[in-house]
Structure 1
Amino acid sequence: MCGIVGMAGQGPVNQEIYDALLLLQHRGQDSTGMATAESSGVFHIHKARGQVREAFRTRDMRALLGDIGLGHVRYATKGTASNEEEAQPFYVNAPYGIVLVHNGNLTNTRELTTELFHKDRRHLNTSSDTELLVNILGSELQSEITGPDLDPSAQVFRAVGRVHERVEGSYASIALIAGYGLLAFRDPFGIRPLILGKRPAAQVPGGEPRDEYIVASESLVLENAGFEIVRDVEPGEAVFITLDGTLHAQQCARNTVLAPCSFEYVYLARPDSVMNGVSVYETRLRMGERLADTVAKYTPAGAIDVVMPIPDSARPAAMQVARKLGIEYREGFYKNRYVGRTFIMPGQAVRKKSVRQKLNAMSTEFQGKNVLLVDDSIVRGTTSREIIQMARDAGAKSVTFASAAPPVRYPHVYGINMPSRHELVAHGRTIPEIAQELGCDYLVYQEVDDLKAAIMEGTDLVDLDMSCFDGRYVTGTVSDEYLAWVEGSQES
């Protein structure tokens, strides 16, 4: 899970891409990077570890020249979070020069690595699957070129079609092709989000007016920058924006189905975004509505005095739980907003330490009360266990814990750092066993069908990736052998 943005403008795009990355910071805090291109084809690239405000200095921004560019915030799911060489964007110099950013996870990296060396004769310098992807795109584009120039409406789209044939997994990608323009494409299942926006042409002193375009992981980026939302990039589709502002779009995959990641709606995305035509905020309200029924079913009458959210992503669900159950809603935890999201921090020890830095329990809200704590999900259980203990330390009489998502029992291989079943607190345990592990009096999970209904209600969606909840991997290419290999590579 990362955040990506690409922009083709009428003037310098560095500041607007920087602003967009700030809005996408919740999607990744390990590293960040930006690339811009001048019309001559010269790339300017800067990337560094840490968050956006830490990574870019004034001198860096001044060097990022050009009217077209892209940016990335990284949350490591492949490779090493501490390795600055694996920060995006990645660059290859042939053909023409390509810079690429990627959100997602490739699931046939072993096969692709072998192919790139023996068939494509290309060298990989990191373990990042993004480096794999940019090299595959470069190789396929190279094979399509027959003359001195590049035809964006034919050669680029055929190359993307070959990428779809070779690559498995999830990928929303944006690339710059030196001297030609900006390319964006999405995997045939649309697992990771990508949305297209447009800002109508305006007269520029000394130049011809042209439309400006943006592609980004979340719609809030478009709205904040004054772009009108055109549509989501379709699964398997590629969009190419030339240097003169002309938009080309074409479906490049044979068999496509929209099956977006359900965890985007549970936790990853900001609530003020709309993805695949579905409001994240309204989805979380519906999750609360359905969770309330399950709470009422599995907790004794009178066992709850107040409902409290674990801020911030669980707040809409908690509000609806309280409203439907007719129980008082209170805010018992105060959040320090200068600490990163604990779920996406690498390492259990770091997560555990960060919980108490991130949250403070106000004893006046807990003292002598039977509290229902609502969180968006429970993954490893480290954060939940600490929060439950904080509530007890603050004087709670009893603690019921509710998850707006079902039990996470299976690895997530499409771009979220849940690679090992052994790390998941729900794997191999019953709900009473999980409650004992977490230290709560009662534990309630959202039902799988209720989460699916909360996301899909009133939409055109016909499928979702819910693999971490139900073990069904929508691409159909994830085997038990692959899962074992992923777990082994993480442990080694």
Structure 2
Amino acid sequence: MAATSTNFTHPFLDLDGDKLREECGIFGAINAADAAAATALGLHALQHRGQEAVGITSFDGSEFYSSRGLGHVAENFSSAESIAVLPGHMAAGHVRYSTTGGSGLRNVQPLYADLATGGFAVAHNGNISNAMTLRADLVRKGSIFQSTSDTEVIIHLVATSRYPTLADRLIDALRLVEGAYALIVMTPEGMIACRDPLGIRPLVMGRMGDAVVFASETVAFDVIGAEFVREVEPGEMVHVDFSGEVQSVRPFGHVSPRPCIFEHVYFSRPDSLFAGQSVYEVRKAIGTQLAMEAPCDVDLVVPVPDSGVPAAIGFAQQSGIPFELGIIRSHYVGRTFIQPSDSARHSGVKRKHNANRGLVAGKRIVLIDDSIVRGTTSLKIVEMMREAGASEVHFRVASPPTAHSCFYGVDTPERSKLLAARMELDAMRDFIKADSLAFISIDGLYRAVGAAKRNAACPQFCDACFSGEYPTSLTDLAMAEPKAAELPFADPKAA
């Protein structure tokens, strides 16, 4: 690479890991006058998908350039100088969370390598569930890895493929890969965008004048003034060259897609479109369905901000119970620092959320949240409402119980730490100290996203975190041995 800059600003760390976290967002632009600037803006709109690190790689027709750093987009790419080191009409970028063993600048994407066919940069959203197995085989054959990211496995598979063209080498590599991926690849010939055959992770295509752009979510196009064209289809590989020609190939055949249903529940920004639907409207529909399935005799519907707001609106509209902001979220608090004591952890929640005492005192309230993971945050919020004087505190959840870990690019705790994997409903209610607790049913969730019900024989979405039915093989998990924790990718959630 011709240039590299780094920023060692350390990010805030999550207090409990008590939310499912999408591990990254990707953006790419080709034939754009200010490709790196557009990429930085697009990544800013995708910041919710990853807040620990950011990187951008550009190509000026002869050389690749890269800049990356820990922290937010604004901390690394807010000045003209930070963009000036990334010249060219093609750029791709990545925002990420890390998981166990995954933090550090060497894992910040896009990853870059000089291959026999020329420069190769890749930004990846998802998780390769056989990465440890592939990596071990590649190392035995002489490959030398520079990161602990599963994404680097793709680079080595491309480098060692015997096919003549880079596009065919990429297809050859991806045939060996299990799991989930949305990729933006840059080469001296142009840009390639592709999704895994099941389309588990999202990827969309747009246009901005003569430029073609790709992103994890449509909201990134709104920010840069691009027009949303369509989704990159599951199993599709889109090639764009510097003349503007766009070609589509489907090298993996046609299978029934299984996009991640949690994009509707939580991951995507509410102002995005996902699977052809408004995320905001779907979340309201989830709240409506939840109110029909689990009504509650209370005075107020109170969302847990911010992710519970659309579902709470739908719940309130369906039930006829007033919607009120009984919890106020501070927008000037970053992700909470790790704290050494239980009392400090509790104050961390209060720095993010505070009870609207004058509103909730003496009232029966129902709290609406998108999910319960470990349950610790739910407990603290219920306790906060009681301390503020609420006479009853009920809890409704806009997703089914999260009882299984995700191995497709979402940071979830190990299953033993998921509340729904350890407890039945009544025990969960007692744990969070609510007067009642209910979750939307999995069929109700499917109805809210427009399906009559869940097709048990072939589900329309990936819902493994609820059902435990994983749509692909989990080779690394199956092959794990007692000493596997010492090896790269022993945690299948690493991305």
User: If the TM-score is normalised by the length of the shorter chain, which range does it land in?
Assistant: 0.7 to 0.9
Q: How far did 1:346 drift?
A: 12
1:340–1:239 Cα change, 3 Å: farther
Structure 1 counterpart of 2:438, from 429, 444, 453: 444
What is the identity percentage for the equivalent residue pairs of Structure 1 and Structure 2? 34
1:46–1:480 Cα change, 3 Å: closer
**Counterpart of 1:474?**
471
Give the 3-state SS of the residue equivalent to 1:17 in structure 2.
Answer: helix
CA deviation map 1:163-190 (0-9, x unaligned): 231000111011111x211111111110
**Counterpart of 2:31?**
9
The answer to whether the 8 A contact 1:29-1:340 is kept is no
The answer to whether the 8 A contact 1:39-1:243 is kept is no
1:410–1:328 Cα change, 3 Å: same
Unaligned runs of 5+ in 1: 146-154, 201-210
Does the alignment pair 1:109 with 2:134? Answer: no
Does the alignment pair 1:241 with 2:250? Answer: no
**Counterpart of 1:463?**
460
Letter of the 1:228 partner, please give it.
E
| 1:145-184 correspondence runs (5 A) | 145=164, 155-177=165-187, 179-184=188-193
1:276–1:487 Cα change, 3 Å: farther
Q: How far did 1:156 drift?
A: 4.0
Give the 3-state SS of the residue equivalent to 2:37 in structure 1.
Answer: helix
**Counterpart of 1:190?**
199
Does the alignment pair 1:292 with 2:291? Answer: yes
Letter of the 2:69 partner, please give it.
A
Q: How far did 1:327 drift?
A: 1.0
Q: Structure 2 CA distance, aligned partners of 1:278 and 1:39?
A: 38
**Counterpart of 1:85?**
106
**Structure with greater proportional helix content:** 1
- Count residues in correspondence: 461
Does the alignment pair 1:130 with 2:124? Answer: no
Q: Structure 2 CA distance, aligned partners of 1:362 and 1:195?
A: 39
Structure showing greater relative contact order (alpha-carbon pairs closer than 8 Å, 6 or more residues apart):
2
Letter of the 2:283 partner, please give it.
R
**Counterpart of 2:84?**
62
The answer to whether the 8 A contact 1:419-1:490 is kept is no
| 1:14-25 correspondence runs (5 A) | 14-25=36-47
CA deviation map 1:390-425 (0-9, x unaligned): 111111111101110011001111111114111211
Q: How far did 1:57 drift?
A: 5.4
Q: Structure 2 CA distance, aligned partners of 1:172 and 1:222?
A: 17
Deviates further, 431-440 or 123-132:
123-132
Q: How far did 1:347 drift?
A: 11
Q: How far did 1:161 drift?
A: 2.5
Unaligned runs of 5+ in 2: 1-22
1:291–1:473 Cα change, 3 Å: same
The answer to whether the 8 A contact 1:26-1:341 is kept is no
Q: Structure 2 CA distance, aligned partners of 1:470 and 1:486?
A: 29
1:432–1:292 Cα change, 3 Å: same
CA deviation map 1:348-374 (0-9, x unaligned): 989765422211111011101111000
The answer to whether the 8 A contact 2:130-2:476 is kept is no
1:377–1:340 Cα change, 3 Å: farther
**Counterpart of 1:151?**
none
Structure 1 counterpart of 2:163, from 144, 152, 155: 144
Does the alignment pair 1:331 with 2:325? Answer: yes
CA deviation map 1:455-492 (0-9, x unaligned): 2438999610000000000124468636887995459x
Q: How far did 1:272 drift?
A: 0.9
1:459–1:441 Cα change, 3 Å: closer
Deviates further, 325-334 or 479-488:
479-488
**Counterpart of 2:314?**
320
**Counterpart of 2:267?**
268
Give the 3-state SS of the residue equivalent to 1:405 in structure 2.
Answer: coil
**Counterpart of 1:373?**
367
Q: Structure 1 CA distance, aligned partners of 2:107 and 2:482?
A: 21
Letter of the 1:139 partner, please give it.
T
Q: How far did 1:45 drift?
A: 0.4
Q: Structure 2 CA distance, aligned partners of 1:348 and 1:196?
A: 46
Q: Structure 2 CA distance, aligned partners of 1:276 and 1:341?
A: 29
Does the alignment pair 1:382 with 2:392? Answer: no
1:57–1:169 Cα change, 3 Å: same
1:354–1:306 Cα change, 3 Å: same
1:479–1:53 Cα change, 3 Å: closer
CA deviation map 1:4-27 (0-9, x unaligned): 000013412121111111100010
1:73–1:411 Cα change, 3 Å: same
